[in-house]
A = this chain, B = another copy of it.
Amino acid sequence: MPISLGELATQFGCELIGDPDVVVNGVASLSGAAPDSLSFLSNVALKDQLRTTKAGAVILRAADADASPVASLIHDDPYACYARMAAVVCPPAVVEPGIHASAVVAESARVADSAQIAANVVVGDRSVIGESVFLGPGTVVGPDCTVGDECRLIANVTLARSVVMGVRGILHPGVVIGADGFGNAMTPEGWVKVPQLGGVRIGDDVEIGANSTVDCGALDDTVIEDGVRIDNLCMIAHNVRIGAHTALAAMVGIAGSTTIGKRCLFAGKGGAVGHITVCDDVIVAARTFLSKDVVKPGTYAASFPATDAKSWARQLARFRRLGDLIDRVKKLEKGGD
């Protein structure tokens, strides 16, 4: 959407150095930008690219403005400012109210007039679809769900049943919310399924990546608090609670009944075992799992980065012979007595 630098500066509280009437109509990286592109400099390692950019304007810190050959929008946090401006310059697809002829909506469901229900969507009994919601093609909303205003379920999303979403949520394709948790009781005749009867409660402004799953609770609800961000192929088990503004990168798994605090960060393939409590402001490194309660904010790690395979084989052999080494040291200690 075309917008002038003057309007952007006013709307987002930036100082503008340059012509307020210049119009941008797209966003781009510094090196890929054209004269109608808005760009940004956040990582100072890219400052060289700033000097030669052809962007219409660059969002940057005051300290970097001197190096800009083009108009500058000054902001203390150029990346966050860029994120907000980009949503204006390149807005998401407009919701086109109405229910597609191929969609199947239960009689007992309630769909706001301003919502868009796309082709082949199914909405189940007693579910409520809020204002300006977008239910993308192939999406299935099971019974007893609530989808808050302005949520977007992109395509082929499944809310199994009893899922309550706050406002402005985004669920990417293939996401499954509210499927049964993994509850089984062993008996002499084999596993007996433990009925999973809770639901899922999702706060406002939550985004969940493609093919991630959030199971319903066994008796109580699984809870995702406001502002949580979950990447692709993550697994949130039954009765988990994820604190507000926590972010989980791809392929993270949180096992059943675990509580994760607010503003935590899990890097890719990280996770936590079940039935533990993790305090606020915990960072978990890539491929690291928490095995017990965490009561102290900070960064936690336990992974081995790759090395060449021959060195690794030697290293693994040494590791396995640690007991021998300890015995040898003991022997030396005795000999030295």
Residues of chain B with a CB closer than 8 A to A213's CB: 174, 209-211, 232-233
Shortest beta-carbon distance from A14 to chain B in Å = 15
Residues of chain B with a CB closer than 8 A to A179's CB: 154, 172-173, 209-210, 232
A119 to B102 alpha-carbon distance, docked (Å): 10
A271 to B90 alpha-carbon distance, docked (Å): 32
**Does A134 interact with chain B (Cβ within 8 Å)?**
no
Most chain B beta-carbon contacts within 10 A, residue among A173, A194, A299: A173
Q: A213-B174, A229-B182 are in contact. Are A313 and B301 (CB under 8 A)?
A: yes
Whether A255 contacts B249 by the Cβ 8 Å rule is yes
Residues of chain B with a CB closer than 8 A to A118's CB: 122
Whether A156 contacts B137 by the Cβ 8 Å rule is no
**Does A73 interact with chain B (Cβ within 8 Å)?**
no
A185 to B247 alpha-carbon distance, docked (Å): 11
Q: A138-B156, A268-B271 are in contact. Are A249 and B182 (CB under 8 A)?
A: yes
Report copies per complex. Answer: 3
Whether B302 contacts A285 by the Cβ 8 Å rule is no
Q: Which of A46-54, A62-70, A323-331 contacts B (4 or more CB under 8 A)?
A: A323-331
A219 to B288 alpha-carbon distance, docked (Å): 30
Residues of chain B with a CB closer than 8 A to A322's CB: 315, 318-319, 322
Whether A312 contacts B302 by the Cβ 8 Å rule is yes
Whether A232 contacts B232 by the Cβ 8 Å rule is no
**Does A3 interact with chain B (Cβ within 8 Å)?**
no
**Does A184 interact with chain B (Cβ within 8 Å)?**
yes
Residues of chain B with a CB closer than 8 A to A328's CB: 329, 333
**Does A164 interact with chain B (Cβ within 8 Å)?**
no
Shortest beta-carbon distance from A296 to chain B in Å = 8
Whether B289 contacts A220 by the Cβ 8 Å rule is no
**Does A280 interact with chain B (Cβ within 8 Å)?**
no
A84 to B184 alpha-carbon distance, docked (Å): 11
Q: Which of B137, B211, B299 contacts A211 (CB 8 A)?
A: B211
Whether B284 contacts A273 by the Cβ 8 Å rule is no
Shortest beta-carbon distance from A334 to chain B in Å = 10
Q: What are 20 residue pairs bridging A and B, where the CB atoms are less than 8 Å apart in the complex? A: A77-B185, A82-B185, A90-B197, A104-B119, A120-B120, A120-B122, A140-B173, A176-B210, A182-B250, A190-B245, A191-B245, A211-B233, A215-B232, A231-B235, A233-B235, A250-B253, A269-B289, A299-B309, A315-B319, A328-B329
Q: Which 3 A-B pairs have CB atoms at the shortest separation, nearest pair first?
A: A291-B305, A158-B173, A299-B309
